[in-house]
């Protein structure tokens, strides 16, 4: 496993959660003067891919208290006893046990999503212990047009379909079906006029229902709404441009982990030329604030300098996000020869003129690689998993990892 390295991260204006890693501030401010208080149960509505309401994207609800957007309105969710329990704990400045992810991160010196949110919620008008929906984060099913090698059935319908082909699927696509009632309940959430709307999938720009939701979004409300979209940038049309133009600010998290054929391998079956073409069109829109988000893993660690230089040429802010799941894709899961090649590559990258946050990340990756021991069983797990996908996709990871 990669050891935790305490380091600063860039300031990102929008509070968001990507995969299992929060985006962090270098200097979070505890605006509430309380040690354990979190604004999210009071000011945030989170809905997972399968429609389950959550306290936040890393705090699922215990089985006995679960409620789903297919059957439950947001007003009913706001009366959920478990939600009340979490609010009560924070109102008394007690650390709720369901928030272990944040407590563990903070104990290890890593800024948690709770700490990140403190300053952000002040910006959008949150007051301590005042229940008001200011921010919603909704994963509208798992409908996706890609089967990224590091993704899972919860976040990609194509991965689920491929897993069924490989006889390794654990979920049923019907679990991610949103009924008409679900979309009516989603509309009710939007009608609360939150200041921040974060939509993800799946691939939100591939989902016609998300397009319809935004197409019917009132112009006056859009002028005061910050819209966040996490996208693989494979879809960009004039219709999408028109819909997004009515929002005052749209933050787009553009998922690009590599360039050229390696990008197409990791985010199969995307075409990098099309992705780059779309991104060039996206950044021309004055209301869109793009951020390139690269998931750093063993497949791209030896080529990470390429995506750094690409983002620099495109003049787009780059955020490197270290992958933690599935763990067989962690950067340290490489045999000695490939690990040394990765260290050599990172040394070359560090000799370049880098932004401070990129310098910090690359230094941490290099240290992790230098100190990690080789685990033959975990490496074999990697080989087995990617090889069976290669057989279905008619490609090969060995085009990029020479062993």
The arithmetic mean of pLDDT across residues 257-271, rounded, is: 98
From the number of C-beta atoms within 10 Å of its C-beta (0-12, 13-18, 19+), residue 220 rates as: exposed
pLDDT of residue 27 exceeding 60: no
The arithmetic mean of pLDDT across residues 152-179, rounded, is: 95
* CA distance linking residue 6 with residue 360, whole number of Å: 10
> pLDDT tens-digit profile of 201-237?
899 999 999 999 999 999 999 999 999 999 999 999 9
pLDDT of residue 110 exceeding 80: no
Per-residue pLDDT, 119: 72
Determine phi and psi for 251, rounding to 5 degrees: -95, 125
Per-residue pLDDT, 26: 37
In angstroms, the Cα distances linking 15 to 48, 350, 371 are 17, 29, 33
Q: How confident is the model at residue 331 (pLDDT cuts 50, 70, 90)?
A: very high
Q: How confident is the model at residue 1 (pLDDT cuts 50, 70, 90)?
A: very low
Q: How confident is the model at residue 20 (pLDDT cuts 50, 70, 90)?
A: very low
Determine phi and psi for 303, rounding to 5 degrees: -130, 15
Q: How confident is the model at residue 123 (pLDDT cuts 50, 70, 90)?
A: confident
Share of the chain above pLDDT 70, in %: 91
Per-residue pLDDT, 112: 80
Nearest-10 Cα torsion for 108, 113, 115, 119:
160
Q: How confident is the model at residue 293 (pLDDT cuts 50, 70, 90)?
A: very high
- The neighbour count for residue 267, using CB atoms within 10 Å, is 25
DSSP structure class, residue 179: P
The arithmetic mean of pLDDT across residues 35-54, rounded, is: 93
Nearest by Cα to 293 from 232, 378, 205: 232
The arithmetic mean of pLDDT across residues 294-317, rounded, is: 97
Is 107 or 176 the better-scoring residue by pLDDT?
A: 176
Q: How confident is the model at residue 46 (pLDDT cuts 50, 70, 90)?
A: very high
Per-residue pLDDT, 165: 95
Query: Is 112 within 8 Å of 174 (Cβ atoms)?
Result: no
Q: How confident is the model at residue 311 (pLDDT cuts 50, 70, 90)?
A: very high
pLDDT of residue 169 exceeding 80: yes
> pLDDT tens-digit profile of 54-84?
999 889 899 999 999 999 999 999 999 999 9
pLDDT of residue 159 exceeding 90: yes
Per-residue pLDDT, 288: 97
Q: How confident is the model at residue 121 (pLDDT cuts 50, 70, 90)?
A: confident
* CA distance linking residue 160 with residue 151, whole number of Å: 10
Nearest by Cα to 59 from 26, 79, 85: 85
> pLDDT tens-digit profile of 341-377?
999 999 999 999 999 989 989 999 999 999 999 999 9
> pLDDT tens-digit profile of 127-152?
778 889 999 999 999 999 999 999 99
Of 13-17, 129-133, 152-156, 271-275, the least confident: 13-17
Per-residue pLDDT, 127: 79
Share of the chain above pLDDT 90, in %: 77
The arithmetic mean of pLDDT across residues 386-396, rounded, is: 98
pLDDT of residue 8 exceeding 70: no
Tell me what the pLDDT averaged over the chain comes to: 89
With H, G, I as helix, E, B as strand and everything else as coil, classify residue 18. strand
Determine phi and psi for 217, rounding to 5 degrees: -70, 130
- The neighbour count for residue 218, using CB atoms within 10 Å, is 12
């Amino acid at each position: 496993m990669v050891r935790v390295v305490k380091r600063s991260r860039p300031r990102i204006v929008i509070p968001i959660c990507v995969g299992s890693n929060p985006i962090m501030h270098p200097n979070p401010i505890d605006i509430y003067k309380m040690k354990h208080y979190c604004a999210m149960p009071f000011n945030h509505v989170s809905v997972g891919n399968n429609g389950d309401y959550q306290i936040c994207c890393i705090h699922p609800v215990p089985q006995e208290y679960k409620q789903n957007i297919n059957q439950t309105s947001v007003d009913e969710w706001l009366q959920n006893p478990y939600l009340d329990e979490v609010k009560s704990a924070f109102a008394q400045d007690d650390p709720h046990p369901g928030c272990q992810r944040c407590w563990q991160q903070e104990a290890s010196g890593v800024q948690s999503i709770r700490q990140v949110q403190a300053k952000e919620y002040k910006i959008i008008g949150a007051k301590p212990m005042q229940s008001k929906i200011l921010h919603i984060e909704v994963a509208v099913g798992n409908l996706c047009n890609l089967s990224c090698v590091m993704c899972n059935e919860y976040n990609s319908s194509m991965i689920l379909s491929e897993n069924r082909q490989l006889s390794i699927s654990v979920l049923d696509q019907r679990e991610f079906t949103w009924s008409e009632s679900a979309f009516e309940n989603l509309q009710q959430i939007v009608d609360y006029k939150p200041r921040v709307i974060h939509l993800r999938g799946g691939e939100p720009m591939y989902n016609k229902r998300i397009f319809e939701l935004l197409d019917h979004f009132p112009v006056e409300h859009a002028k005061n709404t910050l819209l966040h979209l996490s996208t693989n940038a494979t879809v960009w049309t004039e219709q999408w441009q028109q819909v997004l133009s009515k929002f005052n600010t749209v933050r787009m998290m553009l998922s690009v982990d590599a360039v050229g054929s390696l990008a197409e391998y990791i985010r199969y079956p995307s075409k990098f030329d099309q992705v780059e073409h779309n991104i060039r069109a996206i950044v021309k829109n004055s209301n869109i604030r793009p951020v390139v988000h690269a998931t750093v893993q063993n497949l791209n660690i030896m080529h990470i300098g390429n995506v750094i230089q690409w983002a620099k040429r495109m003049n787009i802010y780059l955020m490197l996000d270290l992958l933690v799941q599935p763990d067989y894709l962690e950067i340290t899961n490489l045999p000695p020869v490939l690990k040394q090649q990765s260290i050599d590559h990172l040394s070359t990258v560090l000799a370049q003129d880098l932004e401070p946050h990129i310098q910090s990340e690359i230094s941490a990756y290099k240290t992790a690689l230098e100190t990690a021991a080789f685990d033959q069983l975990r490496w074999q797990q990697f080989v087995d998993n990617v090889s069976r996908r290669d057989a279905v996709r008619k490609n090969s990871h060995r085009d990029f990892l020479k062993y």
